[in-house]
Structure 1
Amino acid sequence: MRNAFIEGARVAGAVSLLSLAVCPVCAARAADGLDFTIRLANGVIEPMAAGGADSRAGMAGRAIAPDARSPEQHATTRGTVPMIVQFAGPVEEGWRRAVAGAGAAVHGYLPNHAFIVSARPESVDALASVAPVRWIGEYKPAYKISSHLDEDAMFGTKSRLRTNIDVDVARSNVAVRIITFTPADADQAAAYAAHAGATVLLTSRGPAKGYVRARATAAQIQEMARHAEVEWIEPYIAPRLHNDVSAQAPRMNAQTVWAAGLTGRGQIVGHADTGLDTGVNNATLHPDFTNRVKAAFGLTPGRGGAWSDLNAHGTHTAGSILGNGSASAGQFRGIAFEAQLVHQSVGDSGSSLPGLPDPIYPLYHQTYTNGARIHSDSWGSSAAGAYDAEAQNTDQYMWDYKDMLILFSAGNDGVDANGDGVVDPGSVGSPGTAKNVLTVGAAENARAPGSGGLTAYTWGQAWPADYPAEPVKSDYISRSADNVHQGMAAFSSRGPCLDGRVKPEIVGPGTDVVSCRSSATSGTGWGVYNARYLFSGGTSMSCPLCAGAAAVVRQYYAERSSHTNPTAALVKATLVNGARTLSYGQYGWQQYREIPPLPRPNNVEGWGQVDLAPTLLPGTGRTNIAVDRVTLATGTEHSYSLAVGGSNTLSVTLTWTDYPGTFAAEAKLVNDLDLFVIAPDGRTNHANGLVYGDRVNNVEGVDLDPAAAGVYTIVVRGHNVPQGPQPYALVMREGAPFTGPRLSIETNIVIVAMAGSTATVNAVMNNTGDSNLSFRLEKSAARYSWTDSTQPGGPAFEWINIVPTGADVTPLSDDGVAGPYAIGFPFVFYGTTNTQFWVGMNGGIMFQPGPLPYLNEPLPTASVTGSLIAAFWDDLDPSSDDVSPAIKRLSDSNQLVVSYLHVPRFGSPLSNIFQIVLRKTGEVLMQYRTVTGTRNSCTVGIQGSAPGDKAVEVVYNHAYVQSNLAVRFDRTPDSQWLSVSPQNGTIAAHGSAMAVLTATTAGLTDEVYTASFTAFQSSPYPPETVSVTLIIPEPLTLFAAIALLMLRRADRR
C-alpha cells in the first residue's frame, strides 16, 4: 500500500498538466521578454498552448480554455467554479478590481501574472472582455493536492522528507488539512469529506479561509479535490516544541544598549508556550516575572484555564525574553527585562501543544488586543521547507495587522544525514516558512566543556545518528570547534524553503542557555543550574532571545524616532540590517566550511546573529536612517539619497509584509519589490548578491564594504504588485569597517611570452585586515560551464529518438546500477579519459561501478564514489509495474545517447522521459522530453572524481526541470601552460605576499590563451578568481603585444 497516494494524486495531476501543455519557459516568453508560464507548485503550464483554446473575434491575443466552460469539478452551491485568469503582464492596481467587477471573486495570486478566481462558467466571456485579460482556464482538481501527498515517504519506506506526516499504513490513510476558498464553505467541505468516506476530525473557520482536518485515503483525497469549494489539500503535521535536542546578552551585544536605557521598557510581548511557572500571578510566581505579566490565558483543553507550566519549556523561554534576573542578582536577565508579557499556555506535560487553535489566527489576536506587538513562538511542525496552512494563516495575520511582528524558531531538524561533515539543507519548519515572520535559527553558545548542562558532550556523543562524521561529531555543543569563531548549533534547521526563499533570517545563541525554571514540574531541560534556573537548548531558546531583541528595537523607535508605532517590517529590517555574519564558521574555510561566504544572506544563518549595539547605536558620525509605511504599486519607484563619508560600511535593507501566498503557486511571493543601490561612480548594486532582481524573497539587502565616499542613490521599485498597494520599510546604516583579514589581489593579469620560452609574472596579494590571513591558490583544472535552452546562446531542444535501434540497459531494478557498457569513443571528463560507463537507475551515469542512492543530494556528493553525470537524480524506479519503463543506449564513434523512457519515481505511475548525450568533443547534453509530478525534487549537474574537480550543480530540489528543456555542459580547455605558486601561505596583518605565475609556452602556437586560478581566503569574503591571459606573438608583433599590455595596465589605473 506504499504507493496508494501516488496512484491517487499524480494520475490526475498528469492528465491535467499535460492537457494544458507543459511547455518550456522559452515558448511562453513574449517578444518583450515577459514570462507567461503559470508556475504551480506541482508543475508548469503554458496557457496559450492549451489544446482547443478558444480565441474569439474581438478578443485578439486572448484565449479561453474549453475547461473554463465545461469544468472537471463539481460547482459550488452558488454555481461557481475556480478558474485561473492570466493578465497581459505585471498586474496593475486596477486590473484585479476590473475582474471583480466582471463578476468574479478574486482569490490568490499565481506567478506569472495570474489569479485564481471563482466565477460561473457562463461568465467567462465577460471575464475575457476585461481589457488586460490574456487567458482563462479551469483551476483543476489536480492542482489542489500538495506534492507531499504524492511521496512514498508517507509510507515510511524511503523517507526523503524529515516530517511528521501522520500516516496509518494499515488503513492506507493520512491526516490531511482541507482548505476552502472561503470560511463559509468549511461545513460544506466537511460534508463532502464525510460523504467520500473520510473521517472528519475538526472543522474551523479563519478570517479568509475554511479548514477541515480529516483522515483520508488517496481516492478520498481525489474526490474531495473535485469540489469547487476546495482550494488546497495538504498533509496535517502536528506542531511540537523546538527544544528536543540561547544566549544571554554577551553574544548579542545587549549590555551596551541596556546601558543606553534600551531595556524593552513600554513594550508588550505575546508568548505562546507550555505555561509560566506556578500559573498564579502572585508571590508564588518565579521572582524574575514580578511585575512583568500583563495578562495570562490557559488555552489547553481539560485544564480549566490553568496556565501553570507542567513542562518547564515556557518558563524558560519567557525568562529569555524578559525575565528581570531578580533571583540571580541580574546575572540571568532576559534581553528586554523591562518589557511586559502576555502569556498563553497551550501545552501539556509533554511536547504536544493541544491548546493551539486551528487556524492559528486567533492566537495572535488575543495578545494583540492586550497590547502585544511582538509574539514569540518556540514551536512548529517539521514541514521541510513547505508553506502550509499555518504559514499562510500567520502571513494573513501580519498582513491584516502590520504592526505585529511574529517570531518563530526555525526548528531542530538539522542533521548530517549523508555523513559528509556538513549539516544538510532544507529542514526549516512551519510556521517558520511564512514570509512575513522573523524566523530564528540557533548558534552555539560560549561555555567551557563540563560547566553544566550538555557542555561536556560533543554533537556526536549526544546525537550519534544525526552527526556521525567529523568535524561536527567531535565538536563540543557549546564551545567553538576552533576556539575562535562562533559557529552554528548543528541541530538548527537550515533553509531554503521549497520555493527557494532564504530561511532563517537571523540566528541567536541556542545551546546551554540558562533561564528560568518552573517550580510546577520536575522537568530539568538540559540540566539544573540551581533551584531557580535551568540549562536548555534548541531554536526554542534562540527565538525568545531574539524576540526580546525585537522589543528593544521597538522601544528604540517608539522613544527615539518619529516612528512611534513601527511596523513589523521596520523592526524586522532593523534586526536583519545590523545582524553580524558568523561566516565562515567554526570548521575552517575550506572543505567543511559551515557558513557560506559573503554576500549575505545564506540558508544557514540568514543575515547573521543579532547584534544590538551596532544595530541601534552605530557610533558618532555614522548615519542610521529608517523609512516606514510608504507604499508602492506596479511600475512605481521611490529614490533616496544618502551621503557617505568614506571608510565606513553601508548596509541597506528593504523588507515588506507581503500578501499571503497561494498554496498552489510555485513561488509564494505575491507583491514583488526590488532594491537597488547606485554608487557615486554610477555602478548599480542589486540586492542579495544577485545580478538581477530577487523574485522570491521579501527581505532584500545590499552591503558595501568599504563604501566609497560620495552620494548614494537607493531605489525601491514596484516590480509586480498584484495585491497592492504594498507598504515597505527601509533601513540605511553606516557601520564600522570590517577589520578582520581580507584578501586583495589583481584579478586580470596578462603575460606576454615568445613561443618556446618561459615567462614569470608576480601578482601582489594584500591583506587589508588587522589579523593574519591564510590563503590557498588553486589553478583551475578542466572546468565546465552550463547553459540551457531558455537562455540566449543555449542549446536547442532536439530529442534524439533511439528507440528503434538502441540496446536495452538491463537489468532494470529499483536502486541498482547496470554496466559496464562501452562508450564507443574515448570520452574525456574532467581531464580523465573514459571508455566505459555504468547506468544508475536513479537518473545518472557514472564512469566507475558503485551506487547512485535513491536519496539525492547536492553536488559535489560523497555518496557517489567518483564521477557522476546526474540528469534527474531522484528516487526513480525503472522496475515499476505501474508503467512500462525502459532505459536505452546507443553509441557510435562520435556520440553516446542514454535515454530513460517512461521511468517513474518510486511508487508513482507518472513517468518521465529524459536522456543524456555524450559527444566526442567533451560536450555533455541533457534533454527532458516529458517531466511530470513534482518539480522540486531532483539533482541536476556533474562532478568529477579528483579532489580538485569542480562540481557543477544546476539545481538541487528546486522547481527547474521541465518538459522540452535542454541543458548543455561545455568544457573549458586545460591550462597546462600555467603554474601558480605557492600553493598556500599566510599573510601578516596589513602585509603582502607574491603569487608567482609562470607561463611555459613550449609546444604552443602564436595565439592568445586564457586560464585562471582561485585565491581562497580565511575570511567571511568569497574567494577571488584571477583571470590570466597569455599572449604569444609572432616576432614582428612583439612590440604591439607589449603596447597592448601597457594599455591594459593603464586602463586599470
Structure 2
Amino acid sequence: MNSRHRVLGCAVLLGLLASALAPAKELPGDRSRLISLNSWAIDTRAPAAVPEALSFRPRAGDVSEVVLVKFSGPVTGLQLAALKAAGARIYTYLPHDTFLVRLPVGLAAQDGFRSAVGASWTGPYHPAYKISRQVAGTRASGKPTPKNKYRSLFLQVYPDADLGALRDSLLALGIDDVAGQAKNAFFSRLRLLVSDEDVVRFREDLARLPEVFWIDFEPRRRLLNDTTIWVGQSGLSGGQTTPVFTRGIYGEGQTIAVLDTGLDADMCWFRDTALGLPPVNACNGGTVTDPAQRKVIAVNFLWATECAGGVGGTEWDTQDHGSHVAGTAAGDDFANLLLHNTADGMAPGAKLVIQDGGYQIDNCGDLPGIGCPVVDLNPLFQQTYDQGARIHTNSWGDNENAAVQNNYSAGSQDVDEFMWNHKDFLVFFAAGNSGPNNATVSTPSTAKSAVSVGSTLRGTSADSMSTFSSCGPTDDGRIKPEITVPGSSIISANADNNTATNNCNTKSTSGTSMATPGAAGLTALIRQYYVDGWYPSGAANAADGFTPSAALLRASLVNSGQNMTGTTVMPANCQGWGRVLLDNTLYFSAAAETRKLFAIEDAGFPPGSSNDGFVFPVTVNSSGVPLKVTLAWTDFPSTPAANPHLNNDLDLIVSGPSGTFRGNVFAGGVSTTGGNADRRNTLEQVLLAAPVAGTYSITVRSFNVPNGPQPFALVATGDFPVSPGNQHPLANAGADQIAATNATATLNGSASSDPDAAPAPLTYLWSQVDGVPVKILNGNQAQATFRPDLPGTYVFQLRVGDGATTATDLVTVEVRRSKPR
C-alpha cells in the first residue's frame, strides 16, 4: 500500500474503540428497540453515541442514501411488500427486525414513510458502524512492516456501487495496492494488503466512502482411515461392523469435491488403469469432466503459478495434504474395488472432483489458489457444482489468533450465500486445530448452513475428543462444530509428488483436516440412501428415490450423533451434537430394527411469516428406543457486520405424553421441559431417552422470516410403525395474469393436487410476497380474491398441505389502470 497520505489523529478512533468493543454482546433489553451489529449495539430510543468524525454527512448532489429501517417485531409479508413498494433497495437484514436499505434522500426521516411501511424507527448507517471491532482495535507498532507480513483488509461494497469509481477514490486517498476484487450480487469485495500502520492511517477515510458497507480483516487460509469406517457406521458398541456397506451402499452415484493442495492421481486409491490421468481444467474456471473415470472425474487447478507453461507431472500435489484428505473421503484401492483395503475412504464408491489450490505460504494463506487475489468463494463452489458435485469438503480455515477465530467472516458469508442459492449443495469445513479451549472454532466453518467438523481420537478411543480440536461457540453463541468424526492418527494416502510412479503408500496424520473428509464421505452414503430409495421402507426401491436437500443431509447427519462420554455431554461446545454414527439414523428393514426413520422436506415459510406452524404427528410404540427429532434449514446469508447472524428463525416443538419440549433445551444430554426458544442456531434437536408411548406432535413454527421462502428438513428416529411413505402434494397457483385497478382479481389454485390423497385433504394458504400490500379474501381456500387500488406488479404465493408436508407455487398478477368509463 502506498503511504502518500497525511497521518490522522487516533483519538477519535480510540474513543470509538471503547464503544465498539463493548457491544460484541447484545445490549440487555427489549429487542424491539435494539439493533445488534458486530461493531455497535444501537438503542433506537436513545441518541446515537457516534463520534462526529464518523457520523453520516450527506453530500451535495446525492439523490439516495443508505438507512436502517427498524420494525418493532418480526417483519410481516405486508411490511416487506410496503417497503419494496416505497422504492427501497434492500441490501441485507440485520438483527433485530431491521433492514439496511437505499432510499431517496430524506424519505426515511418522514413520519409518513414510517407509517406507510409499519417501521418503528429509521436512522442513518453511520460510517462508525462500518468498522469491525478488530479493525477498530488495531494499533500502529511504530516499526516498519515487511510486505510479507501485511494483512488482508476486506472492503465489502454495495452490489450496485461502481468498483471503478471506488478504486479512483482509493487512489485519491493514496491507496493503490488492491490485491483483488469481485462483483457479487450480495456484496461486492475489494482486498487491500496493509500494515497495521496503514489500517490506523486509512480506516476512518475508508469508512466515509459511500460505496463501502463493511471493513474487516480477512483471515489467512491455512491447511488445518481404517477405523473411521466402522466407527462412523456402527459405533463403539457395534462390533466393528459396517452395516451401510453390508447393504450395498458405498457412495455410488455421488460426487464429492475436495478443495485442498491437489491429488497424486496415479496412486492406487485414485488411479484408472485403463483411462490414465483424469482431465485437467488449468486455471480457467473450466468444468470439463470424464464421468467414465473410475474415481477422479476432473482436477481443477486454481493457482496460476502451477498452470503457467502447462501442468507437469510433479505439480499435482506438492504438499501431500490433499491426497491424504481425498483418500479419506472416497479412496478405493483398485486391487479390490468396494472391498475394504487399508486406507480406503468412507465412500469408496463415490467419484471425486479435485480443486488444486497449490501450496505456498503468503499474505493470504497456505493455498495460493484461494488466496490473493481471490476475494469470493462462490465461483469456486459453482465450478464443482457444474461438474456434478453436491458435497464439498474443505480441510482448511483461518490462521488468526483465537480471539477472532470464531467470528462470521466474508468466507462464511460466501458459503451461506452459495448454499442458499443451491439448496442441494452441502459444504463441510474443518473446525480447526486450536483446541481444546472454547471459542476457537475457525472460519469459514462458522457459516450457518455448513457442517463444521471436530475431531475425536481413533478406533476404540473415539469417545474422547482430540485435544487439538477447536471448540465453539461462535462469537454470536451458535453451536459449532455440529458433529465429530475420528481425526487422530488417520491412515490414508501418502503422495510422492509424482504422477508417474503408481505408488500405494500410506501415512498416519492427525487434525480436523482428517476428520472433515470422513464426515463428507459418510454423508455421501446418506445421500445415496435417499437417492436409491431406501427411505421409507428400509429396502432399495427406485420409485421412492429422490434428491435430498442439503438441509435433509445435515439433519440426518446430526440426528445420527452419538453422545461422547469422554467430554462434556451433548450438545456441547466441542462435540456439538455428537459423533457421527449412521446406524443411529438410517433404517434397514432386513435388520428387523425396532428403530425407524421419519424424514420430511418441506417448502417452508413465505417471506414475512411469523408464528405460522406445521404439525407432523408420529406414533411412538414403546419407550425402548429414544425419540430423537432434528430440524435443519439452509438460512439466508448474514453479513460480518451483524451479530447475531441468524436470519430466518424457525422453532422446533415436540409435544406428547412425555410433555412439551423445545429444540435445543437440554439438561444432562436429554431434552427437558421449559426453557426458551433458540434464537441462534439453524439446527434444533429434541431427544427423549425413554419416551412414553403414544402420539407426539412435531411442530415446526416460524418466528421470523425476513428473507423467504424458507424451506426446512425434519428427521426423527424412534419406535415408529413402518410408514408406506407420503407423496408430496403439488401446488399450482395458476398462470400469470393481467388485472385492472378497482376490480376484483381471482387467485386460482384449483389445479393443485395430491397424488396419494393422503394423509389428509389438501389445505390452502395464500400470501402476498411482493407489490403494494392488498387484503386477500378467502386466503385459506383454493380460490382467493383481492381488489387492487394501484397499478403495478403483484406476486402471491400459494401453499398447499396434505397434513404431512407442503408445497408452494408463485403467481404474478400485472395490474393495469382501469380505463375510465
Aligned to 1:352: 366
Cα shift at 1:42: 2.2
Pick aligned residue for 1:365 from 367, 372, 382: 382
Is the aligned partner of 1:251 residue 2:234? Answer: no
The DSSP-based 3-state class of the residue aligned with 2:700 is strand
CA contact (8 A) 1:275 1:346 kept: yes
Q: Which amino acid aligns with 1:375?
A: H
Which of 623, 632, 647 lines up with 2:596 in the alignment?
Answer: 623
The separation in 2 between residues aligned to 1:175 and 1:630, in whole angstroms, is 40
Q: Does 1:444 align with 2:474?
A: no
Change (3 A) 1:337 1:153: farther
Give 1:222 shift: 1.1
CA distance in 1, matches of 2:706, 2:487: 39
SS at match of 2:122: strand
Cα deviation code 1:12-59 (max 9, x no counterpart): 4668999x9x99634xx3xxxx6321112223222133379xxxxxxx
CA contact (8 A) 2:662 2:676 kept: no
RMSD of Structure 2 on Structure 1 (CA): 3.4
Matches within 5 A, 1:38-49: 38-49=35-46
- Could you tell me whether the CA contact under 8 Å between 1:248 and 1:333 is conserved in 2? no
Identity of aligned residues (%): 32
CA distance in 2, matches of 1:76, 1:266: 60
The alpha-carbon distance between structure 1 residues 202 and 77, as it changes in their structure 2 partners (threshold 3 A), is farther
Query: What's 1:645 paired with?
Result: 621
Residue by residue over 1:324-373, the C-alpha shift from the partner in whole angstroms, topping out at 9 and shown as x without a partner, is 13358623221111111111111226671111232011111001011111
Q: Which residue of 2 aligns with 1:160?
A: none
Provide the rounded CA distance (Å) in 1 between the counterparts of 2:140 and 2:528.
46
Query: SS of the residue aligned with 1:48?
Result: coil
Shift in Å at residue 171 of structure 1? 12
Q: Using a 3 Å threshold, how does the CA distance of structure 1 residues 154 and 727 change in structure 2: closer, same or farther?
A: farther
Distance 2:151 2:584 in 1: 49
User: Which moved further from structure 2: 690-699 or 567-576?
Assistant: 690-699
From 362, 386, 394, give the equivalent of 1:377.
Answer: 394
Distance in structure 2 (CA, Å) of the matches to 1:365 and 1:172: 32
Say whether 1:340 aligns with 2:343.
no
User: Which residue in the other structure is 1:35 paired with?
Assistant: 32
From 564, 582, 593, give the equivalent of 1:612: 582
Contact 1:96 1:106 in 2 (8 A): no
Q: 2:133 aligns with which of 115, 138, 147?
A: 147
2:201 maps to which of 194, 213, 219: 219
CA displacement, residues 679-714 of structure 1 (integer Å, 9 cap, x when unaligned):
225434443427110011111001000111111111
Q: Alpha-carbon deviation of 1:132?
A: 1.2
Q: Find the counterpart in structure 2 of residue 535 from structure 1.
A: 508
* CA distance in 2 between partners of 1:732 and 1:613 (Å): 13
Higher strand share: 1
- CA offset at residue 634 of structure 1? 1.8
Letter of the 1:544 counterpart: P
TM-score w.r.t. the length of structure 2 is 0.72
Is contact 1:180-1:189 (8 Å) kept? no
1:527-926 map, 5 Å:
531-560=504-533, 561=535, 562=544, 564-583=546-565, 585=566, 595-597=567-569, 600-617=570-587, 620-632=593-605, 633-646=609-622, 647-689=624-666, 691-734=675-718
Q: Counterpart in 2 of 1:504?
A: 481
The residue that corresponds to 1:11 in the other structure is 15
Measure, in 2, the Cα distance between the counterparts of 1:24 and 1:510: 39
In 2: Cα distance, 1:14 partner to 1:78 partner = 32
Aligned positions, number: 636
SS in 2 for 1:540: helix
Q: Give the Cα separation in 1 of the matches to 2:596 and 2:713.
A: 17
Within the alignment, does 1:136 sit opposite 2:116 as a pair? no
SS in 1 for 2:644: coil
Pick closer, same or farther for the CA change 1:636–1:75 going to 2, 3 Å: farther
Aligned partner letter, 1:268? T
Secondary structure in 2 matching 1:702: strand
Unpaired runs of 5+ residues, structure 1, are 53-64, 158-166, 415-422, 447-478, 523-529, 586-594, 737-1053
Change (3 A) 1:389 1:686: closer
- The match for 1:830 is none
- Residue 187 of structure 1, aligned match among 153, 164, 181: 164
Kept in 1, the 8 Å contact 2:72–2:119? The answer is: yes
Deviations 1:602-623 (A, max 9, x none): 1101111111122213752322
Change (3 A) 1:573 1:171: closer
For residues 489-533 of structure 1, the C-alpha deviation after alignment (integer angstroms, 9 at most, x for no partner) is: 1111111110011100011111111111223169xxxxxxx9521
SS, match of residue 83 in structure 2? helix
SS for the counterpart of 2:411 is: helix
Structure 1 pair 80–174 and aligned structure 2 pair: CA distance change class (3 A): farther
Q: Kindly provide the amino acid, as one letter, of the partner of residue 366 in structure 2.
A: S
Q: Tell me how far apart the structure 2 counterparts of residues 76 and 236 of structure 1 sit (CA, whole Å).
A: 34
Q: CA deviation at 1:550?
A: 1.0
Give the distance between the partners of 2:185 and 2:410, measured in 1 at CA: 13
Alpha-carbon contact 2:190-2:375 (below 8 Å) kept: no
Pairs within 5 Å for 1:119-518: 119-124=103-108, 125=110, 127-151=113-137, 168=145, 174-182=151-159, 184-198=161-175, 199-214=177-192, 215=194, 216-242=198-224, 247-253=227-233, 255-278=242-265, 283=273, 291-304=294-307, 306=311, 308-326=316-334, 330-348=341-359, 352-356=366-370, 357-382=374-399, 383-414=404-435, 423-446=436-459, 480=461, 486-518=463-495
1:915-939 deviation line (CA, Å, top 9, x unaligned): xxxxxxxxxxxxxxxxxxxxxxxxx
Q: Which secondary structure does the structure 1 equivalent of 2:427 belong to? A: strand
What is the Cα deviation at residue 295 of structure 1?
Answer: 1.8
- SS in structure 2 of the partner of residue 648 of structure 1: coil
Shift of 1:129: 3.7
For the residue of structure 1 that corresponds to 2:611, the secondary structure is coil
Counterpart of 1:96, as a letter, is L
Instruction: Identify if the C-alpha distance between structure 1 residues 154 and 497 changes in structure 2 by more than 3 Å, giving closer, same or farther.
Output: farther
Residue pair 2:625, 2:719 contacting (<8 A) in 1 also: yes
* Cα separation, 2, equivalents of 1:66 and 1:317: 50
For 2:645 and 2:430, the matched residues in 1 are separated by: 20
Structure of higher RCO (CA pairs closer than 8 Å, 6+ residues apart): 2
Contact 1:5 1:151 (C-alpha < 8 Å) held by counterparts: no
1:303 counterpart letter in structure 2: E
Query: Is the Cα contact below 8 Å between 2:472 and 2:573 reproduced in 1?
Result: yes
Between 328-337 and 694-703, the greater mean CA deviation after superposition: 328-337
Q: Distance in 2 between matches of 1:537 and 1:15?
A: 42
Deviation at 1:93, TM superposition (A): 2.2
Cα separation, partners in 2 of 1:637 and 1:174, compared to 1, 3 Å: same
Judge conservation of contact 2:17–2:137 (CA < 8 Å) in 1: no
Equivalents in 1 of 2:491, 2:293: separation in Å? 19
Match of 2:819? none
Residues 630 and 715 in structure 2, CA contact (< 8 A), matched pair in contact too:
yes
Q: Report how far residue 716 of structure 1 moved.
A: 0.7
Superposed displacement of residue 206, structure 1:
2.5
Cα distance in 2 between the residues matched to 1:303 and 1:660: 33
CA distance in 2, matches of 1:373, 1:731: 20
Q: Which residue of 1 aligns with 2:797?
A: none
C-alpha change, 1:194 and 1:327, in structure 2 (3 Å) is farther
1:114 aligns with 2:86: no
